[in-house]
Amino acid sequence: MIEVQAEGIRFGFRPDTGQLDGFTVSDAGREITPLHRAPWVGTDEVMPEDAAPLMATLGGDFFCAPFADSEDGSPLHGWPPNTPWTVRENGHGTLTAILDRKVHGATLTKTLRVRDGHPFVYQSHVFENGTGRVSVANHANVSLKSGGLIRTSAKSHWETPRTPQESDPARGRSALICPEKSDDPTIFPGLDGPVDLTRYPWNPRHEDFVIGVEAGGHVLGWTAVTRPAEGDLYLSLRNARHLPMTMLWHSNGGRDYAPWSGRHFGCLGVEEGAADHMLGLSTEADLSGPGALSLDDGPATVRHIIGAIDWPGGEAVATIEIDGDVLVVTGEGGGRRRVAVDAAFIEISE
């Protein structure tokens, strides 16, 4: 593990999988560690032969290309989280690494940066000399062992993929109807009646995936996950015109086969990206941005920000706005925080 840090923030980088692990923010005199780690990580447990390499270290945050798919013989989520990276720079709060394998013929360079006094990790992935289109997404895994409240920037609707995560009752359980859609995430169609997707958990044992399709007319895309028991808030920021999909993976004891073995609880995947092949009822034409990343017109860049702050009131987030070099977070109960942010990183000017 390689440590990257600045004043008030640190994380570890795993060169074997490109994973960001041990993400910690110091805020209001306490340390916030919002990311999940699977129960088998750090043990000597042997993974199944057909498991993708990323499964052995599942958790933290990683980059997928292609997202939720495999190409050119790659494992699930592509080569970026499943093969080693060579670190080229590490110092002054910045780490740069190059993936040891090509993606669609492209060299992939990862840069992770932290700044003094900013509760955020600034992530960029640059594809050079590639061809074709590739689906992409950042894959953060938020720990919600004591539950959480989920809010996002405006969506045109929410929908499920064509098929559920688990359809064989001998192997696991999914609880959402697939494919289906709803304009209101608090009454999404479930197998046993409407489900409130803004709360976690909403089912004692299930494995489900749902997609928020960004509404048009705005640039700042965000996801805010309140952890009331911990008194903190996980934040995800992106340019909604570049990454028009917020994909949520609800993993809460819904898989009975190894390595999950009915013990993987309290994980919410917050996966921001461009991956129209995951849509169950919509198409790329319904998105406010591209359905995949084009590599044909020179270097292609994916930028994304993750962060965490103290949020002692435990309320759900109502709005997130940019005020110059400050992010303004306002809660549904009136709570407010102003924290330093480099919004220009994701080309946000509003």
Query: CATH code at 307?
Result: 2.70.98.10
Query: Cα torsion for 2, 130, 284, 236, to the nearest 10°?
Result: 20
pLDDT digits (tens, 9 = 90+) for 109-162: 999 999 999 999 999 999 999 999 999 999 999 999 999 999 999 999 999 999
Cβ atoms of residues 114 and 4 within 8 Å: yes
pLDDT digits (tens, 9 = 90+) for 210-243: 999 999 999 999 999 999 999 999 999 999 999 9
> pLDDT at position 71, please?
84
State mean pLDDT over 151-175. 97
- Residue in 119, 98, 104, 103 with CA at minimum distance from that of residue 18: 98
DSSP 121-185: EEEEEEEES--SEE-EEEEEEEE-TT-EEEEES-EEEEE--SS-S---TTTB---B-SS-EES-G
| Mean pLDDT across the chain | 97
Question: For 21-66, what is the HEC assignment?
Answer: EEEEEEECCEEECCECECCCCCCCCCCCCCCCHHHHHCECEEEEEC
> pLDDT at position 349, please?
62
pLDDT digits (tens, 9 = 90+) for 267-276: 999 999 999 9
Cβ atoms of residues 271 and 249 within 8 Å: yes
- Residue in 91, 82, 127, 83 with CA at minimum distance from that of residue 109: 127
Calpha distance 163→136 (Å, rounded): 20
Calpha distance 136→201 (Å, rounded): 27
Calpha distance 194→180 (Å, rounded): 12
> pLDDT at position 348, please?
82
Q: What does DSSP assign to residue 276?
A: G
- In this prediction, residue 332 has a pLDDT band, given cuts at 50, 70 and 90, of very high
> pLDDT at position 9, please?
98
Count structural domains, the chain: 1
Query: Cα torsion for 168, 171, 173, 177, to the nearest 10°?
Result: -30
Write out the two tokens for 300: 């292609």
Cβ neighbours for 285, distance < 8 A, ≥ 6 positions apart: none
Cβ atoms of residues 240 and 214 within 8 Å: yes
Query: Which residues constitute the domain of residue 179?
Result: 2-346
- Residue in 22, 16, 11 with CA at minimum distance from that of residue 90: 11
Calpha distance 200→145 (Å, rounded): 9
Q: What does DSSP assign to residue 215?
A: P
Q: Tell me the residue type at 307.
A: G
